[in-house]
């Protein structure tokens, strides 16, 4: 599906008009959005609403049915999400951890993936099914060992940035890793040896 989605819940298609998926303003503090592998399930969550609790939802794109997955999460239900094998992997920046939400269980089971971070705010899988996490608080990008028993020490740092300067990550079709910075409004490629190659200048 070449269409893409954003957290004001509009669907943009290259060959048609944009389509609203939910009423404007119906999900205050909406932040991340991700799709299931088959493209039929859309997941979204509230984040950074420190006055009230935040929730995590699923929208069935075929029926338009909204399902509440988790609720009453302080600070941030999710700041980013990665879907794999009927589970969501998501950072909890206020809790310093990344969790796995098993969607097959009822209620969904939440388990730790990696812990002991400062403020993780993004996760992504590459084509090898390896999970990477951005810890904005520490300025680190790390590869997570999903089979390790100790979740406090199951990360291998692959790149370092100034703390509180990085926001998100993405892979291209060749598994090249790119990091975005909200502090400097720039994009940087992380090379295989950990060196950093600027892709866009600051202030783009």
Span 52-105, pLDDT tens digits: 788 999 988 888 888 999 998 888 888 789 999 999 999 999 899 999 999 999
Which range among 3-12, 76-85, 150-159 shows the weakest confidence by mean pLDDT? 3-12
What is the C-alpha separation between 65 and 23, in angstroms, rounded?
13
Residue with tokens 């720039």: 186
What is the C-alpha separation between 48 and 22, in angstroms, rounded?
20
Which range among 25-34, 60-69, 130-139, 153-162 shows the weakest confidence by mean pLDDT? 25-34
- 10-19 mean pLDDT: 75
Given a cut of 60, is residue 185 above it in pLDDT?
Answer: yes
**pLDDT at residue 51, rounded to an integer:** 67
**pLDDT at residue 75, rounded to an integer:** 83
Instruction: Give the pLDDT band of residue 8 (cuts 50, 70, 90).
Output: low
**pTM of the complete model:** 0.88
The answer to whether 135 and 144 are in contact (CB under 8 A) is no
Given a cut of 90, is residue 1 above it in pLDDT?
Answer: no
Residues 16-64 have pLDDT tens digits of 777 777 777 778 888 888 989 888 889 999 888 776 788 999 988 888 8
Could you give the C-alpha distances from 153 to 90, 120, 121, 194, in angstroms and in order?
18, 15, 18, 19
The closest of 1, 50, 9, 53 to 33, measured between CA atoms, is 9
**pLDDT at residue 7, rounded to an integer:** 57
Residue with tokens 């008009």: 17
In this structure, what DSSP letter does residue 65 have? -
């Amino acid at each position: 599906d070449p269409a893409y989605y954003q957290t004001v819940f509009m669907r943009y298609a290259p060959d048609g008009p944009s389509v609203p998926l939910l009423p404007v303003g119906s999900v205050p503090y909406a932040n991340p959005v991700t799709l299931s592998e088959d493209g039929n399930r859309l997941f979204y969550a509230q984040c950074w609403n420190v006055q009230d609790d935040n929730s995590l939802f699923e929208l069935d794109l075929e029926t338009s049915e909204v399902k509440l997955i988790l609720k009453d999460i302080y600070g941030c239900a999710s700041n980013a999400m990665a879907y794999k094998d009927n589970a969501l992997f998501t950072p909890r920046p206020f809790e310093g951890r990344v969790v796995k939400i098993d969607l097959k269980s009822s209620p969904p089971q939440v388990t730790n993936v990696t812990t002991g971070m400062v403020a993780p705010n993004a996760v992504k899988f590459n084509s090898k099914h390896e999970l990477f996490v951005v810890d904005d608080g520490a300025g680190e990008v790390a590869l997570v060992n999903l089979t390790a028993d100790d979740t406090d020490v199951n990360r291998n740092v692959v790149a370092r940035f100034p703390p509180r300067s990085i926001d998100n990550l993405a892979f291209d079709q060749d598994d090249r890793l790119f990091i975005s910075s909200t502090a400097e409004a720039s994009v940087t490629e992380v090379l295989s040896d950990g060196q950093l190659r600027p892709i866009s200048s600051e202030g783009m």
